[in-house]
Amino acid sequence: MKKPADVEEYLAAVPEPARGTLEKVRTAIRSAMPREATEVISYGIPTFKYGKPVMGYAAFRSHCSLFPYGAAVIEAFREELKDYPTSKGTIRFPVDKPPSAALVKRLVKAKIVDNGRKNKK
């Protein structure tokens, strides 16, 4: 996939069912973000920012991923994420089965708090 100019172009290039899954994830992320947040393409993927990057999301050939830009949130939600393959900064899920909207919202809110802590240091 060529680097998209904006989020809409990114999503338009994603085949179903992954596109519908990412739209659900996007809606959940947006609902947990402050109004002043922006959605941009960062590192080639859609990313919500509130000062700093909060949460990115992307589709791949055999899975989709959430990117909370750091390991702290993944570690804090280790038990709730036990059914999803994770790595230091990635949460993977099937192209047709996103994490619940409630879990995505909790991850976003936790990342906003985490970013706030980092700003105070």
Looking at residue 118, its pLDDT comes to 62
Looking at residue 116, its pLDDT comes to 86
Q: How far apart are CA 19 and CA 22, in angstroms?
A: 5
- Please write the tens of the pLDDT for every residue from 42-71: 999 999 999 999 999 999 999 999 999 989
* Contact present, 41 and 7 (Cβ < 8 Å): yes
Domains defined for the chain, CATH in brackets: 7-116 (3.90.1150.200)
Is this model's pTM higher than 0.85 or not?
Answer: yes
Q: How far apart are CA 109 and CA 29, in angstroms?
A: 9
Q: Please give the average per-residue pLDDT across 100-112, as a whole number.
A: 97
- Please write the tens of the pLDDT for every residue from 15-43: 999 999 999 999 999 999 999 999 999 99
Element (H, E) at 86: strand 86-87
Looking at residue 119, its pLDDT comes to 58
